C-alpha cells in the first residue's frame, strides 16, 4: 500500500501506473480530492474504480488516522482479538493498482474555495478540481466539569480503544455515559475488558430513539441479567477525581457513582467545522447541507456520510453513507442517480441480546394500530405498528428474538400486503400451521436485500444463475452480507430459493455409499450402538465404501467408542497415517512425533530422542507446536522406534490423526515475570485430557500466561489466556492458509469451569460439524455463530450439556496409547513390514504368502521376484498390483484403502488419492492409465501370483516410475 509523506512526491512511476490502467498521466488529469478515509470514503473509492473514474481523475485521499479505512461497525471485535489487518476494508493492492494517492496521518484544516485548494495543518496545500468531504462524525462529550480527565475516554477509533484498554488493564469498574446504540456497544467493550460495567442514560429508557417503553424495559432486564448495571433518567453533573486515582460521577439528583474510568458514548456530532469555516451552507441541526446529488452549496464540493445533512436529516448509520457514495460516483460518471433518503432500520446484538427496530417504531403515525407480544419467561418482546386500514406495516420493535426482522423489513419496504390477522406475524407458529409469510418467493426482484451495498433480490438471483452456489462465492461476487452483516440470513434464503428454482439440489450425502450427512451418520452410530463399518453399511448404506466414507466412519466410531484402531474390523477404515500411527512422507517413509504435553521435556528425554534419531538416522525438526518431529523412519522401523520412546517415558503424539495435535504454552508464572497463572501446568492438564480425541478435523490449543500472548492462543481452535481472576477462553480460531482469530467465549473462568466448557464445545463440534471441517468454518456456518455456541455450552439451551460432558468423560476414561497397545499385540506388529516375503527366483506361478497374512479388506506389500507388488484381499478375492504409486518412487499402494465406485472394486493410493481398478489396474480417473496387475490364485490357503502380468488394452499407458 502506498503512503505519501510529501505532496510533492508525485513521481513518474504514478504517471506510468496511470497510463498502464488506460488513463492519462496524473499531471494531465483533473484532481479529485477526498477528505476522509473511513468506511464511506473507502466505499466511494471502490465505486469510483468500478466506474473507471480513476482513469479520468487523479485521486488524492486524506486520512487523519494512521490506519487505512477499517470496519467501525464491528469495532468491539478489536477486544475479541481482531487487529487492524482483520478489520481493514482495503483489499491488498487496491490503492497501488488503481493509481490512488493515499495520505494517512494528514489533517486538512482549511478549504480555500477561491484558490480551489485544501490546506494541511503544517501549511502544505493541495489543489483540487473536485472536492469530496467524507469527514464523518465525532463523539459527543457532554460539557460537564471533569470530562477532560485522563481516565475519561470516547469510543470512535482504534487509537481510542488502545488508550481505553491500557487504562482498563489496571481497573475494575467502568461507566458508560449514554444508553443508545453506541453506548451499549461501548458497554460491550468494557465487559470484554473484564470490567464491572454500568450504563448511565439521561432518558427514562435505553435506546430511546429506536425502542418503545416495552422493548426498552425488556432490553434492560436482559442486560442487567448479564451483570451490567443500568441507570436511566440520570443527568451527569460533574466528574471528580479522587486521591486514590478513581473517579466519582455526580448526578443532578445528588447521587453518585464510583468508577475507575468513564467512557463517553452519548451520540455523535457531524464534523462540519471545515465546511462552516469555508462558508458552505449547513443544515439546521448541523451537518453540511447537500442536495439529491450530494452536492453542497459550492458546485465543486460534495459531501457524503455522517458529515452530510440531506433535507436537514443526519444519518448515523453506514448504509446511508454507502448509498450517498454510490450516488456521487454515478453523478461524477454522468449517470442518472439521486439520494432520496435511507431506511434507518437497525438489527444488531447488544451485549449478546438481539435487538431490532424499523420504521415508525413508536406508532406516531395518525390512526396507526399496534400489536404486542411478550414472553416474559424467555424475555422476548415483539411489536408491530400497522396502518389505520390494517393493510400496511409501518414499523416494528423486536427484543430478545429478531428472527422475523428480514421478513418484516421487506414487507415494510416493499409495501407487501399484510395477512388478515397481522398479529400472526409476531406470534409463535403453532405446530402444523402454515408459514407466517410467503417468504422470499413473494419479494419482487427490485427488493433491496443488502442496504450496505444496494444489492437486490434480482442481483443475488442473477449471481446464482451465473454460477454462485454458496455464500462464499456469492459474497465475493456481489458483496452482499459483507457490510454490517445483518442481511446474511436473508441473502442465504434468496440464494437457496434461486438454487431450488434452477432445479439444483443441495445434497449433503457424504458419498455414493451413504445417503446421509456426517451429522446424521453420527446420530445413527450413537443411537443404534453401531460399532463397525459393516454394521453401518448393512443398515444404512450400500456397496463397499470408499476413501471418503471409510476414514470418516472410522473417526466417528473412535469419537463414540474409542476402540483400538487396528482391530480386524476397524483396520480397513484407516488411512495410512492412522493405520501405522505415523505421518507418511512423499518418499513412503514416516515421521514420528512423541507427545510432549505443553512442550515440556526433560534433559533425559531430549537425550533419548537424540540417541534414537542417531541410531535410525532420522532428520529432526522442532515443530511450531513445541514438539520434535523425527523424519525418515521406514515402516518396519516404527515399532522399534516406539519401543525406545516408550522406554524413555514418551507416548504417541497423535500427529497422524484428525485429533488434538498440541497444546502450546509459554512458561507462565513459574518463570516469567509477567505471568499471572501457571500456563504450562494448565496446558499439560488440557493436553492430557484431550489427547487421542478423534474430531472432524485436527484441532490445536494453546495457553498463554498473560495478555502478552506468547503462546499465540488466539490463533488456535481452543485458546486460553490468563487473567488475574482466572482464564479467558477463546474458541474457533486457526492459522494456516486462511487465518482466523478466535472469538472470546467466556472470561475469568476457574480451571473446572473452563474444562467443562471445552468438554461440551468439543463434543458439540464432533456431533454437528461436517466432514473435514475446522472449528472456525464450523462456527461461521452455525446459525447464530459464537452467541449460539454460548447458549448451547453455557446456557444449555438444548438441554444436552450434561450429555456432552458425559460423552467426553467416556472418551477420556477409555484413552490408550496406540503405540503401546500395538507393541503388546504380536499379530498387529506383523503388519509393520514393507514386504510379507523375501525376494525369490521367478516361476510361472509363485507362492507369495498365506492368505491370513493379508489383512481382510486391506492390503500388504510383497515381492514377486524382486518386483514390489501390492496384495489386496477384498471379500473372497485377492488381487495383485504394482506397489509403486504412480508419479513417485514410493512403494506404498499396498497401504491404500479399498472400496468401490459404481460397484467397481478399487484401491485408493495413500499419497495422492489416485483410484485404480483391482481387477486390471486401470485408473478410474484416467482410463488410459494402467497400473501393472498380475493373475492371482489361492489354493489351500496359499496365495500364488503369476510371473507374467495381465496385458492391458494396446492404447493404454503403463503407470511406472523407473
Question: Which string of DSSP letters, residue by residue, matches 80-100?
Answer: GT--HHHHB-S-TTHHHHTT-
Contact predicate 618/632, CB 8 Å: yes
User: For residue 528, which phi and psi values (nearest 5 degrees)?
Assistant: -85, 5
Output Rg (C-alpha) for the chain, integer angstroms: 33
Query: Which residues are CB-contacts of 934 (< 8 A; sequence separation ≥ 6)?
Result: 864, 869, 880, 881, 945, 946, 947, 948, 949, 950
- With contact defined as beta carbons under 8 Å apart, do 286 and 198 qualify? no
Q: Which of 836, 840, 842, 832 is nearest to 934 (CA)?
A: 842
Residues with pLDDT less than 50, the chain:
1-22, 430-437, 953-956, 960-962
Q: For residue 960, what are the contacts with CB-CB under 8 A and spacing of at least 6?
A: 882, 884, 886, 932
Question: In the prediction, which pLDDT does 886 show?
Answer: 87
| Count of beta carbons in the 10 Å neighbourhood of residue 872 | 24
Match 433518567 to its residue by C-alpha cell: 233
CA–CA distance, 220 with 230 (Å, rounded to integer): 7
Tell me, what's the pLDDT at 375? Answer: 86
Q: How far is CA 941 from the centre of its chain?
A: 55
The predicted structure's pLDDT at residue 4: 31
CA distance 323 to 343: 10
The widest CA-to-CA distance across the chain, in whole angstroms, is 107
Backbone dihedral region for residue 891 (phi beyond 0: left; psi -120 to 50: alpha; all else: beta): beta
Nearest to 601 by CA among 637, 638, 651: 651
Q: For residues 681 and 913, give the distance between their C-alpha atoms in angstroms, rounded to a whole number.
A: 41
Residue with cell 454522468: 334
Strands 313-314 and 448-450: unpaired
Number of continuous H segments (helices) and E segments (strands) in the chain: 26, 49
Of 778, 788, 789, which is closest to residue 733 (Cα–Cα)? 778
DSSP string for residues in 16-57? HHHHHTTS--GGGSPEEEEE--SHHHHHHHHHHHHTTGGGTS
**What was the pLDDT predicted at 87?**
87
pLDDT value at position 1?
A: 30
The pLDDT score that the predictor gives to residue 445 is 87
Amino acid at each position: 500500500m502506498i503512503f505519501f509523506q510529501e505532496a510533492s512526491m508525485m513521481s513518474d512511476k504514478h504517471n506510468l501506473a496511470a497510463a498502464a490502467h488506460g488513463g492519462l498521466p496524473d499531471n494531465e488529469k483533473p484532481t479529485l480530492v477526498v477528505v476522509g478515509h473511513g468506511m464511506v470514503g473507502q466505499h466511494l473509492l471502490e465505486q469510483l474504480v468500478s466506474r473507471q473514474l480513476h482513469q479520468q481523475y487523479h485521486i488524492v485521499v486524506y486520512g487523519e488516522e494512521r490506519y487505512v479505512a477499517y470496519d467501525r461497525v464491528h469495532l468491539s471485535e478489536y477486544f475479541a482479538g481482531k487487529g487492524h489487518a482483520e478489520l481493514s476494508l482495503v483489499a491488498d493492492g487496491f490503492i497501488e493498482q488503481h493509481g490512488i494517492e493515499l495520505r494517512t496521518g494528514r489533517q486538512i484544516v482549511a478549504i480555500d474555495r477561491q484558490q480551489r485548494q485544501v490546506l494541511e495543518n503544517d501549511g502544505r496545500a493541495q489543489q483540487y478540481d473536485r472536492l469530496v468531504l467524507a469527514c464523518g462524525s465525532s463523539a459527543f462529550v457532554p460539557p460537564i466539569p471533569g470530562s477532560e480527565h485522563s481516565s475519561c475516554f470516547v469510543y470512535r477509533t482504534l487509537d481510542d480503544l488502545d488508550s481505553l484498554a491500557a487504562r482498563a488493564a489496571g481497573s475494575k469498574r467502568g461507566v458508560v455515559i449514554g444508553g443508545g446504540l453506541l453506548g451499549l456497544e461501548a458497554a460491550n467493550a468494557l465487559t470484554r475488558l473484564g470490567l464491572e460495567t454500568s450504563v448511565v442514560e439521561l432518558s427514562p429508557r435505553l435506546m430511546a430513539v429506536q425502542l418503545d417503553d416495552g422493548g426498552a424495559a425488556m432490553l434492560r432486564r436482559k442486560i442487567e441479567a448479564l451483570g451490567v448495571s443500568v441507570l436511566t433518567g440520570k443527568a451527569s453533573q460533574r466528574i471528580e477525581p479522587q486521591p486514590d486515582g478513581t473517579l466519582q460521577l455526580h448526578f443532578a439528583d445528588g447521587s453518585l457513582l464510583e468508577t475507575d474510568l468513564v467512557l463517553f458514548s452519548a451520540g455523535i456530532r457531524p464534523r462540519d467545522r471545515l465546511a462552516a469555516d469555508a462558508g458552505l451552507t449547513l443544515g439546521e441541526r448541523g451537518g453540511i447541507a447537500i442536495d439529491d446529488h450530494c452536492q453542497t452549496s459550492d458546485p465543486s464540493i460534495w459531501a457524503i456520510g455522517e458529515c452530510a445533512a440531506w433535507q436537514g436529516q443526519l444519518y448515523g448509520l453506514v448504509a446511508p453513507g454507502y448509498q450517498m457514495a454510490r450516488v456521487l460516483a454515478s453523478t461524477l460518471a454522468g449517470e442518472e442517480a439521486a439520494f432520496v433518503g435511507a431506511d434507518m432500520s437497525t438489527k444488531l446484538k447488544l451485549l449478546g441480546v438481539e435487538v431490532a427496530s424499523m420504521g415508525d417504531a413508536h406508532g406516531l403515525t395518525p390512526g396507526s394500530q399496534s400489536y404486542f407480544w411478550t414472553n416474559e419467561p424467555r424475555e422476548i418482546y415483539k411489536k408491530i405498528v400497522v396502518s389505520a386500514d390494517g393493510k400496511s406495516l409501518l414499523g416494528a420493535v423486536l427484543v430478545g428474538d429478531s428472527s422475523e426482522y428480514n421478513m418484516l423489513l421487506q414487507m415494510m419496504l416493499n409495501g407487501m400486503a399484510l395477512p388478515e390477522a397481522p398479529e400472526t406475524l409476531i406470534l409463535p407458529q403453532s405446530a402444523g400451521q402454515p408459514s407466517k409469510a410467503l417468504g422470499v418467493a413473494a419479494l419482487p426482484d427490485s427488493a433491496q436485500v443488502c442496504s450496505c451495498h444496494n444489492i437486490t433480490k434480482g442481483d443475488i438471483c442473477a449471481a446464482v444463475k451465473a454460477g454462485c452456489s454458496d455464500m462464499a462465492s456469492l459474497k465475493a461476487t456481489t458483496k452482499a452480507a459483507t457490510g454490517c452483516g445483518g442481511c446474511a440470513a436473508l441473502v442465504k434464503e434468496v440464494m437457496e430459493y434461486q438454487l431450488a428454482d434452477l432445479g439444483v439440489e443441495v445434497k449433503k450425502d457424504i458419498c455414493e455409499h451413504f445417503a446421509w450427512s456426517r451429522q446424521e451418520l453420527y446420530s445413527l452410530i450413537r443411537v443404534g450402538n453401531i460399532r463397525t463399518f459393516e454394521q453401518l453399511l448393512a443398515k444404512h448404506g450400500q456397496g463397499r465404501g470408499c476413501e471418503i466414507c471409510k476414514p470418516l466412519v472410522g473417526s466417528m466410531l473412535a469419537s463414540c467408542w474409542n476402540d483400538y484402531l487396528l482391530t480386524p474390523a476397524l483396520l480397513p477404515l484407516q488411512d495410512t497415517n492412522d493405520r501405522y500411527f505415523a505421518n507418511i512422507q512423499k518418499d513412503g517413509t514416516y515421521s514420528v512425533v512423541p507427545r510432549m504435553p505443553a512442550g515440556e521435556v526433560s534433559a533425559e528425554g531430549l537425550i533419548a530422542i537424540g540417541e534414537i534419531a542417531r541410531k535410525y538416522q532420522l532428520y529432526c525438526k522442532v515443530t511450531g507446536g513445541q514438539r520434535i518431529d523425527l523424519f525418515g523412519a521406514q515402516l518396519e522401523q516404527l515399532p522399534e522406534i516406539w519401543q525406545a520412546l516408550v522406554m524413555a517415558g514418551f507416548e504417541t503424539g497423535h500427529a497422524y490423526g484428525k485429533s488434538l495435535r498440541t497444546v502450546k504454552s509459554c512458561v507462565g508464572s513459574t518463570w516469567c515475570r509477567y505471568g499471572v497463572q501457571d500456563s504450562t501446568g494448565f496446558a499439560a492438564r488440557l493436553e492430557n485430557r484431550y489427547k487421542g480425541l478423534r474430531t472432524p478435523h485436527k484441532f490445536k490449543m494453546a495457553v498463554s500466561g498473560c495478555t502478552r500472548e506468547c503462546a499465540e492462543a488466539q490463533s488456535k481452535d481452543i485458546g486460553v489466556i490468563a487473567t488475574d481472576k482466572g482464564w479467558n477462553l477463546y474458541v474457533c480460531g486457526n492459522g494456516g492458509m486462511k487465518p482466523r482469530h478466535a472469538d472470546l467465549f467466556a472470561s475469568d473462568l476457574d480451571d473446572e469451569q473452563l474444562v467443562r466448557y471445552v468438554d461440551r464445545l468439543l463434543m458439540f463440534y464432533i456431533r454437528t460439524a461436517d466432514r473435514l471441517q475446522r472449528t472456525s468454518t464450523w462456527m461461521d456456518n452455525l446459525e447464530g455463530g459464537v452467541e449460539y455456541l454460548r447458549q448451547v455450552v453455557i446456557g444449555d439451551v438444548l438441554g444436552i450439556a450434561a450429555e456432552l460432558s458425559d460423552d467426553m468423560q467416556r472418551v477420556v476414561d477409555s484413552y490408550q496409547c496406540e503405540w503401546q497397545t500395538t507393541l503388546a499385540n504380536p499379530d498387529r506388529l506383523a503388519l509393520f513390514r514393507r514386504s510379507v516375503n523375501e525376494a525369490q527366483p521367478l516361476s510361472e506361478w509363485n507362492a507369495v504368502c498365506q492368505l491370513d497374512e493379508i489383512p481382510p479388506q486391506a492390503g500388504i506389500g510383497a515381492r514377486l521376484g524382486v518386483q514390489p507388488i501390492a496384495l489386496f484381499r477384498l471379500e473372497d478375492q485377492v488381487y495383485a498390483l504394482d506397489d509403486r504409486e504412480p508419479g513417485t518412487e514410493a512403494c506404498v499402494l499396498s497401504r491404500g484403502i479399498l472400496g468401490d465406485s459404481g460397484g467397481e472394486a478399487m484401491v485408493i493410493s495413500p499419497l495422492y488419492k489416485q483410484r485404480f481398478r483391482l481387477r486390471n489396474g486401470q485408473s478410474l480417473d484416467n482410463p488410459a492409465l494402467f497400473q501393472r496387475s498380475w493373475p492371482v490364485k489361492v489354493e489351500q490357503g496359499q496365495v500364488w501370483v503369476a510371473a507374467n502380468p495381465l496385458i492391458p488394452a494396446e492404447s493404454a499407458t503403463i503407470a511406472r516410475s523407473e
